[in-house]
Amino acid sequence: MLDVLTGKTYRNCDGLSRRDMLRIGVLGAGGVTLADTLRSHSDAVEGGIPTNNRAVICFWLDGGPTHLDTFDPKPDAPSEYRGPMSSITTSIPGVHLSETFPRTAALMHRLNVVRSVHHNNGDHFAAAHWVWTGYKGSTAANRDPMYPSMGAVTSRQHGPNRPGMPSFVAVPRASTIGIRPGYQSGTFLGIAHNPFDAGGDPNSRNYKVPNLHLPGGVDAQRIDQRQGLLQSLDRIRRDADAKGIMDGLDRFNQQAFDMITGEDAKKAFDITGEKENLRDRYGRNTVGQSALLARRLVEAGVAFVTVHSSGWDNHSNIENAMRKNHGPRMDNAIASLVEDLTDRGMYDDVLILVMGEFGRTPRVNGNAGRDHWGNVMSVMLGGGGLKGGQIVGASDDKGTAPISYPVRPAHILHTVYKQLGIDASQSHMNQAGRPIPILGEGEPIADLV
């Protein structure tokens, strides 16, 4: 392996090196290969697991979004709790959102907000692990992921909605609290269920996904079509096997090669195929263009897509962060996605999830920001066959704790799994050979399903 990692290459096949050929299948963090991700659909199908064709797009607000300045404003609270943002009415009578979400507010009859999620933990790592897995586990002192994420479980239990596509994709990257893929990982389900880390920035000119292109600008047709390349891969395999680098090629490697050299996946990731006015509606920024790319991916057959939005750990100057950055970007991305999916007849098949690891302190601190607060947070859900226009639970008049229908992160995950046709009472074996239920507590939120 050191030969590969240190760059000592062995040239084969019209200039392709062994290192290049290994890179063809590698999906970034963790050394996951494209062939690994394709095993997920085989696992689900061969295991006789019933699935539907629904998908999830999860906006991950990394760092912890303020619930009071997004989806649970408190316009009648004292100013030190209310904060600098005003609230606006929505299409649901009596329900308000922050003033930075005008387009989303107009679509609230299609969406839902759970305002009573809590886990009472202000540790970024513990909280992120909890909301992604439904389990208390990792902490700042021990950051290693302990349980598989809902994206990984979806990959294992559901698989992609179209053969030849990965089950679980992260755009523009798979990251939680600076760890890649962090708590989105497959843990004891295996690296085959880690997210496909798309890489790059969908907002950049001439965006391409590095992992879907042959290295060095090589055209597969120049290598005597597919058979010539596979023969060269066989030679590489024999060389590599002697050093323990590869276990060998199998049918999943063939599928991976088909995906790289075929057109379906490349077309799905080619955001330049979208009309300019639609791209403008989503927002010409990384979050907006990632949301548009996510729609393309679920349309092409991906079952779970994470849209990463960073920088929500706003301990100071929260007004500037919300007015100039988070608010407008998320508002355009969420509203455009709802409208776009609806226009395409896809809204009932794609569940939108908007969440971070915790909320922020109800009282504004001395730096005009808000600190960590796991005692209550808001999660937005819509589409995917869910009811619309529901506000589930409530926090108190200052946004400090739930006062009705308190729920844990597992309730959110139960709801997602139910809409995907996944039985959360099933178990997987962990590294020690012990059966671990997909979720150990909670149930689907009845008001939504």
DSSP annotation string for 225-284:
HHHHHHHHHHHHHHHHHTTTS-----HHHHHHHHHHHSSHHHHHH-GGGS-HHHHHHH-S
Task: Flag whether 7 is in a domain.
Answer: no
For residue 8, what pLDDT is reported? 34
The two three-digit tokens of residue 253, written as one number: 């490697």
Least-confidence region, from 214-228, 345-359, 364-378: 214-228
Say how many C-beta atoms besides its own lie within 10 A of residue 92's C-beta.
18
- The pLDDT confidence band at residue 224, using thresholds 50, 70 and 90, is very low
Four-residue CA torsion sign, 371, 375, 381, 387: negative
Q: Is the pLDDT of residue 409 over 70?
A: yes
Q: What is the largest CA-CA distance in the chain?
A: 73
Cβ(15)–Cβ(29) below 8 Å: no
Q: How far is CA 10 from CA 7, 15, 117, 225, in A?
A: 9, 9, 54, 21
Q: Is the peptide bond before 181 cis (omega within 30 degrees of 0)?
A: yes
- Per-residue pLDDT, averaged over 228-234, amounts to 56
Distance of alpha carbon 26 from alpha carbon 34, whole angstroms: 6
For residue 415, give the DSSP letter.
Answer: H
For residue 236, what pLDDT is reported? 54
- Per-residue pLDDT, averaged over 310-329, amounts to 97
Task: Flag whether 179 is in a domain.
Answer: yes
Distance of alpha carbon 113 from alpha carbon 115, whole angstroms: 6
CATH code of 147's domain: 3.40.720
Q: Is the pLDDT of residue 43 over 80?
A: no
- Per-residue pLDDT, averaged over 237-261, amounts to 49
- Per-residue pLDDT, averaged over 359-385, amounts to 98
DSSP 3-state of 81: helix
Domain count, the chain: 1
**291-294 own/partner pairs: CB under 8 Å, 24+ apart:** 291/57, 291/59, 291/333, 291/334, 291/336, 291/337, 292/202, 292/336, 292/337, 292/340, 293/171, 293/198, 293/202, 293/269, 294/57, 294/169, 294/171, 294/337
For residue 163, what pLDDT is reported? 85
Least-confidence region, from 79-88, 197-206, 221-230, 410-419: 221-230
Q: In terms of Cα–Cα distance, which of 92, 99, 93 is closest to 75?
A: 99
Q: How many CA atoms lie within 13 A of 46 on its CB side?
A: 7
Contacts of residue 439, Cβ cutoff 8 Å, sequence gap at least 6: 134, 135, 410, 413, 414, 417, 424, 425
For residue 341, what pLDDT is reported? 98
For residue 258, what pLDDT is reported? 56
Which residues are 96's β-sheet partners? 89
Q: Is the pLDDT of residue 430 over 90?
A: yes
Residues above pLDDT 70, as percent of the chain: 77
- The pLDDT confidence band at residue 388, using thresholds 50, 70 and 90, is very high
Q: Is the pLDDT of residue 396 over 80?
A: yes
- The pLDDT confidence band at residue 265, using thresholds 50, 70 and 90, is confident
For residue 4, what pLDDT is reported? 26
Report pLDDT digits (tens) over 63-96: 999 999 999 999 999 999 999 999 999 999 999 9
Q: Which domain holds residue 87?
A: 49-211+264-437
Least-confidence region, from 29-43, 134-148, 259-273, 379-393: 29-43
- The pLDDT confidence band at residue 261, using thresholds 50, 70 and 90, is low
Task: Flag whether 40 is in a domain.
Answer: no
- The pLDDT confidence band at residue 44, using thresholds 50, 70 and 90, is low
Least-confidence region, from 215-219, 302-306, 382-386: 215-219
DSSP 3-state of 142: coil
Q: Give this prediction's pTM.
A: 0.85
Task: Flag whether 121 is in a domain.
Answer: yes
Task: Flag whether 345 is in a domain.
Answer: yes
The two three-digit tokens of residue 193, written as one number: 């269920």
Q: What is the mean pLDDT of the chain?
A: 85
CA 336 distance to own-chain centroid: 18
- The pLDDT confidence band at residue 210, using thresholds 50, 70 and 90, is confident
- The pLDDT confidence band at residue 1, using thresholds 50, 70 and 90, is very low
Task: Flag whether 123 is in a domain.
Answer: yes
Q: How far is CA 116 from CA 122, 376, 395, 416, in A?
A: 16, 6, 6, 17
